[in-house]
Amino acid sequence: MADAGVASRRGCEELIEGGHVTVNGQLVTELPAWVDPEEDRIVVAGKVVPMPERKVYVMLNKPPRTLSTAKDEPGADRRTVVDLVDHPAASRLFPVGRLDYDTIGLILLTNDGELANRLTHPRYGVPKTYRVVVKGTLDEEAAKEIERGIFLAQRKAGQTVGGSRTAHVEIEILAKERTKTVVELTLREGRNRQVRRMLAAVGYPVQKLERVAMGPVKLKGLARGEWRELTRHEIQDLKRSAASSGDPSGKEGRSGGGKKPKMPYVAPGVAEMPPKPGVRNRTIKNAINKARLPVTPRLEGRPTKRDE
∠ CA 208-104-143, rounded to 5°: 45
> Which class for 118: exposed (0-12), middle (13-18), buried (19 or more C-beta within 10 A)?
buried
- For 201, counting Cβ atoms within 10 Å of its Cβ (0-12 exposed, 13-18 middle, 19+ buried), the class is middle
Which residue of the set 77, 100, 139, 307 is catalytic?
100
Catalytic residue status for 100: yes
Which stretches does DSSP call E strand in 136-283? 151-156, 159-165, 170-176, 180-187, 206-214, 217-218, 227-229
How many Å apart are CA 217 and CA 198, to the nearest integer? 24
Q: Which residues are catalytic?
A: 100
